[in-house]
Chains A and B, each alone.
Chain A
Amino acid sequence: MKPLEELVAALDAESAEWVAALTGPAAERAQREARLHGMLVRVALHELGRRRTTSPWLAGVELEDLAHQAAADAMLAILRKLGTFRGESRFTTWAYRFVILEVSAKLGRHYWRVHPPVALEAEAWERLPDRFGLDPAEHVQRAELVRAMGRAVDETLTAHQRRLFTAIVLEGTPLDALAVRLGTNRNAIYKTVFDARRKIRAYLVANGYLEQEGTGAR
């Protein structure tokens, strides 16, 4: 038995049908590709609509164009990587992952069209309490914590960690948008900020501002 036939035999019926059609005769393949493309557009539109609730800036964006671009790019990736599908999930779940990730990547790029980069002002640290929902009624402890955070950032973080931490925490830049601006990826930024959070926490614990409990290391 050929590898493709072995794979199809091991899949659930619906996934097997998808793989067989997408690797079958040209006419059947084209028909199935068109159907998959339509499904990807629908998922992209739904996802963009869903994200408007958490990203209000999306209101002015041409969502339909973005959805079609995300679906087209996801389609190319799916066809290119079809040979790597091993049936660990349903075929459609595997395929939809591509379009969801494309939506995130497109939004990261689009962010800078509606939010031109600006230099961070010195007073930005004053916004820190709002970012953490610190209670204004506790203003003395609040001011003390903000100062301690500033010292932790200055004394424990590298220049790169400081740059990313302030962009995300103080400026509120979405992680995917920052990845686009710096020409890197989400994972690299997450790991840098993860390490920054761990170092700041350790500093605050060592200096008596936070309890030891819950400290993690990576």
Chain B
Amino acid sequence: MNHRDRLGRFLATDPADVGCEEAMAVLHVYVDLIADGRDAAAAYPGVAAHLAACGPCGEDFEGLLAAVTSP
């Protein structure tokens, strides 16, 4: 990947992205779908787009998933 691609990727924005508030409001539902082996991204594409783009919400998602799936 060249420098323009890297910059372009950083600046890219997904119109489906629902933002932090909406994503965090359903995070528990989203995480339970994944924990149950279901396709959470298909059920909530806007949340999936947000979690891929927002570092802090992505961290919260990883943390909640770890909390419910770790023994």
Q: Which residues of A are interface residues toward B (Cβ below 8 A)?
A: 43, 46-47, 50-51, 54, 88-90, 92-94, 96-97, 99-101, 103-104, 129, 132-135, 138, 141-142, 145, 149, 174-176, 185-187, 190-191, 194, 197-198, 200-201, 204, 209-211, 214-218
Contacts of A132 in B (CB 8 A): 3, 6-7, 10
Q: Give the distance to chain A from B15, nearest Cβ to Cβ, in Å.
A: 5
Q: Which of B10, B11, B27 gathers most chain A CB within 10 Å? A: B11
Contacts of A129 in B (CB 8 A): 3
For the complex of A and B, the 8 pairs showing the least CB-CB separation, nearest first, are A201-B11, A187-B20, A89-B32, A89-B28, A216-B13, A134-B3, A187-B21, A97-B28
B1-34 contacts to A, CB under 8 A, are 2-4, 6-8, 10-15, 17, 19-21, 24, 26-29, 31-32
List 7 A–B pairs whose Cβ atoms lie within 8 Å, in order of A's numbering: A93-B31, A97-B31, A132-B3, A138-B2, A185-B20, A186-B57, A201-B13
Size of interface on B: residues with Cβ below 8 Å to A: 37
B68, A96: Cβ atoms under 8 Å?
yes
A92, B13: Cβ atoms under 8 Å?
no
Interface membership of B37, Cβ < 8 A: no
B67, A101: Cβ atoms under 8 Å?
no
* Tally of A-B Cβ pairs under 8 angstroms: 124
Q: Give the distance to chain B from A179, nearest Cβ to Cβ, in Å.
A: 9
Contacts of B60 in A (CB 8 A): 100-101, 104
Contacts A194-B17, A200-B11, A215-B12: A138 and B31 contacting too (C-beta < 8 A)? no
A211, B66: Cβ atoms under 8 Å?
no
Partner of A210, one of B11, B63, B64: B11
Contacts of A214 in B (CB 8 A): 8, 12
A97, B17: Cβ atoms under 8 Å?
no
Whole-angstrom distance between the alpha carbons of A54 and B55 in the complex?
11
Contacts A135-B3, A141-B3, A142-B3: A190 and B67 contacting too (C-beta < 8 A)? no
Partner of B56, one of A92, A149, A174: A174
Contacts of B32 in A (CB 8 A): 89-90, 93
B32-58 contacts to A, CB under 8 A, are 32, 35, 54-57
B3, A97: Cβ atoms under 8 Å?
no
Contacts of B6 in A (CB 8 A): 132-134
A47, B2: Cβ atoms under 8 Å?
no
Given A51-B59, A99-B67, A197-B12, output 13 extra A-B contacts at Cβ < 8 Å: A46-B66, A89-B31, A90-B68, A93-B35, A103-B63, A129-B3, A133-B6, A141-B3, A149-B7, A190-B57, A210-B4, A211-B8, A216-B13
